[in-house]
Amino acid sequence: MEKFLPWFKLKSVPGIGNYLCKRLIDRFSSPTSILEASREDLLKVDGMTLRLATAIKSHRIPDTVKKDIDLVIQKGYDIITLADDVYPPLLLQIPDPPPFLYVYGRLDGCIENIAVVGSRNATSYGISTTERLCRDLASLKYKIISGMAQGIDTAAHRGALSGKGQTIAVLGSGLERVYPADNRKLFHQISESGAVISEFPLKTEPEAHNFPRRNRIISGISLGTVVVEATKKSGALITARLAAEQNREVFAIPGSIHSFKSMGTHTLIKEGAKLVERAQDIIEELPAAVKAPDKEDQPAPRENKPEQPLLSSEESLVYKTLEPYPVHIDDLVRKLSIAPGKLSSILLHLELKGIVQQAPGKLFSVADH
């Protein structure tokens, strides 16, 4: 781990952020050369001041950094620097890439990455749509990138894993502070075929100001970003904005016009994001150079929908009233003018036939297939 000390030493100099660090690396090629450079040479770098040049020359690596490196070794994590071949190549193109990343799992330098982000408090429609899309993309050998948050992020990772594909989770905390804690099992599942990465020291807590920084990595590592179920003030919109600024593609999955959870995604579509209904809508927008010959002309996977079971007239009436978005049973009673007891019985029969699903709180929707 001695080879990483110059990287950690440079990054720990007060006032040396990612922007300036990249300029220094571009100029001097390695952190060792930067640390050995004269003040005069350092001052030739845009953004460098005499105070910062002096700080670089006199800086001593903190004990906390050495402890962090020791913990990396103890836990079996990896550190990937800007100089490594497996450092994500697309991330190198943004103005402020992290000088190094903490990695749990394996990075392979792949660029066929698609980011999928959205609401933490997602609907069953958002979850099922995300899982299906990511499963299809993963089956076509695209890697799914997300933030391992609750809701859409979790669905994206799970969809990729169910498609026997790879996925990368980018954390807004250190690898030793899995957030949310409920996703600890997913954290380990992702590492088995893909990777969990972070630019933050291992024990960094998931503080709010970390997540916008995390989002630039999610978009920066990807060819395009897909947004699912975002309100007007959703953090997913920050990721979409960063993707656009990084000259990457922006996609959005439409939702119900009656749902405030889709207002942000609909705004993106109005502003020029491509509307996505299936995996092929994304693939056809990607640069031709990243499309492998075996999938360039491959049609989008077809959904294997089961045959529709026979329904009574009452069952058919109730089924046609339902949508992918969950509807409360009281709203169905008002719409259909059916007694609550009888409606509950009809809904139960539809559930048993596998075409209706119930969510907690007496919410019903068309079953996902």
Express each pLDDT in 215-240 by its tens digit. 999 999 999 999 999 988 888 999 99
pLDDT greater than 70 at residue 277: yes
Residues 55 and 146 occupy one common structural domain = no
Which of these ranges, 71-85, 176-190, 206-220, 297-311, has the smallest mean pLDDT? Answer: 297-311
**Cis ω for the linkage preceding 301 (within 30 of 0):** no
CATH number reported for the structural domain that contains residue 248 in this entry? 3.40.50.450
Q: Please count the structural domains in the chain.
A: 3
Residues 198 and 266 occupy one common structural domain = yes
Q: What element of type H or E holds 195?
A: strand 195-198
Residues 140 and 288 occupy one common structural domain = yes
Q: For residues 287 and 202, give the distance between their C-alpha atoms in angstroms, rounded to a whole number.
A: 36
8-state DSSP, 43: T
CA quadruple 205, 208, 212, 215: dihedral sign: positive
Give 73's contacts (C-beta < 8 A, 6+ positions apart).
1
pLDDT in tens, 358-368: 888 888 888 87
Give 92's contacts (C-beta < 8 A, 6+ positions apart).
82
pLDDT given at position 360: 80
pLDDT in tens, 87-138: 999 999 999 999 999 999 999 888 999 999 999 999 989 999 999 999 999 9
pLDDT greater than 50 at residue 294: no
pLDDT given at position 314: 87
pLDDT greater than 80 at residue 355: yes
Residues 6 and 148 occupy one common structural domain = no
pLDDT given at position 256: 85
pLDDT greater than 70 at residue 303: no
Q: Does any domain span residue 206?
A: yes
Q: Does any domain span residue 87?
A: no
Write out 276-341 in H/E/C secondary structure.
CCCHHHHHCCCCHHHCCHHHHCCCCCCCCCCCCCCCCHHHHHHHHHCCCCCEEHHHHHHHHCCCHH
- Calculate the alpha carbon distances from 8 to 98, 171, 204, 260 in Å: 11, 19, 16, 44
pLDDT greater than 50 at residue 315: yes
Q: Of 61, 81, 104, which marks where a domain is finished?
A: 61
Under the banding of pLDDT at 50, 70 and 90, the label for residue 324 is confident
Residues 208 and 152 occupy one common structural domain = yes
Residues 235 and 291 occupy one common structural domain = yes
> In the structure encoding, which two tokens stand for residue 241, read together?
């904005």
CATH number reported for the structural domain that contains residue 8 in this entry? 1.10.150.20
pLDDT in tens, 22-78: 999 999 999 999 999 999 999 999 999 999 999 999 999 888 898 999 999 999 999
- Interhelix angle 313-321/340-352, rounded to 10 degrees, is 90
Residue for token pair 């749990």: 104
- Interhelix angle 184-193/152-162, rounded to 10 degrees, is 40
pLDDT greater than 50 at residue 182: yes
Residues 156 and 50 occupy one common structural domain = no
pLDDT greater than 60 at residue 304: no
Closest CA to 211 of 234, 188, 245: 234
Under the banding of pLDDT at 50, 70 and 90, the label for residue 286 is confident
Residues 335 and 260 occupy one common structural domain = no
- Looking at every residue in the chain, the average pLDDT score rounds to 90
pLDDT given at position 288: 59
Q: What is the CB-side half-sphere exposure of residue 206 using CA atoms within 13 A? A: 13
Write out 223-287 in H/E/C secondary structure.
CEEEEECCCCCCHHHHHHHHHHHCCCEEEEECCCCCCHHHHHHHHHHHCCCEECCCHHHHHCCCC
188: containing domain: 113-296
Q: Look at the pTM and tell me if it is higher than 0.75.
A: yes
CATH number reported for the structural domain that contains residue 338 in this entry? 1.10.10.10
Under the banding of pLDDT at 50, 70 and 90, the label for residue 307 is low
Residues 187 and 152 occupy one common structural domain = yes
Q: Of 269, 296, 323, which marks where a domain is finished?
A: 296
Residues 348 and 250 occupy one common structural domain = no
Q: Does any domain span residue 304?
A: no
pLDDT given at position 292: 45
